[in-house]
């Protein structure tokens, strides 16, 4: 995984509340993390206090590989807010370890016209300094090592 440093004001800076703090800061170490339920062995996203499957509170952040596939995507041509250069790709990425875990994200380092459903991707992190604390936004780029 590589690092992206970017001063572009972000798309949507996340709120750093207690339960999601690990998710937005794991990118400092180049890691993509999800809550893992120790009781049913499932991954959980977005972060929440109880496992949606068995209501367990026995949850711990766990690093995953960062690999995934494009579940679906859309190309945004509309300048909704100050942010990335247009057009950019908004995608839902399925995580390799559990394809039921899906992340709303942006794809980078790819021509919007080259994006395909099922395309292998991997996480990269965009660092943003913010008053509430630094965040590392997980974005995805094509993974040329997966076929
Ligand atoms: Zn569970």
Task: State pLDDT tens for residues 16-30.
Answer: 678 899 999 999 999
Expressed in angstroms and rounded, the spacing between residue 55 Cα and the centre of ligand 1 is: 6
Domain hosting 78: range is 3-142
* Residues around the ion ligand 1 (C-beta < 5 A): 37, 39-40, 51, 53-54, 56
Residue 37 domain-assigned?
yes
Residue 147 domain-assigned?
no
Residue 133 domain-assigned?
yes
Residue 76 domain-assigned?
yes
**Chain position carrying tokens 């943003």:** 128
The pLDDT of residue 76: 85
Expressed in angstroms and rounded, the spacing between residue 64 Cα and the centre of ligand 1 is: 17
Residue 110 domain-assigned?
yes
Terminal CA-CA length for the chain: 17
Overall domain count for the chain: 1
Predicted TM-score of the model (pTM): 0.84
H or E segment at 130? none
């Amino acid at each position: 995984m590589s690092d992206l440093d970017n001063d572009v004001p972000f798309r949507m800076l996340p709120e750093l509340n207690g339960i999601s703090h690990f998710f937005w800061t794991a990118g400092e170490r180049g890691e993509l993390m999800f809550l893992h339920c120790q009781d049913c062995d499932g991954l959980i996203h977005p972060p929440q206090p109880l496992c949606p499957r068995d209501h367990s509170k026995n949850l711990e952040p766990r690093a995953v590989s960062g690999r995934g596939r494009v579940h679906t995507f859309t190309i945004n041509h509309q300048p909704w807010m100050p942010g990335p250069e247009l057009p950019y790709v908004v995608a839902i990425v399925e995580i390799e370890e559990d394809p039921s875990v899906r992340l709303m994200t942006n794809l980078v380092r790819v021509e919007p016209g080259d994006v395909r459903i099922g395309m292998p991707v991997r996480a990269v992190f965009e660092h943003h300094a913010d008053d509430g604390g630094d965040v590392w936004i997980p974005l995805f780029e094509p993974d040329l090592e997966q076929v």
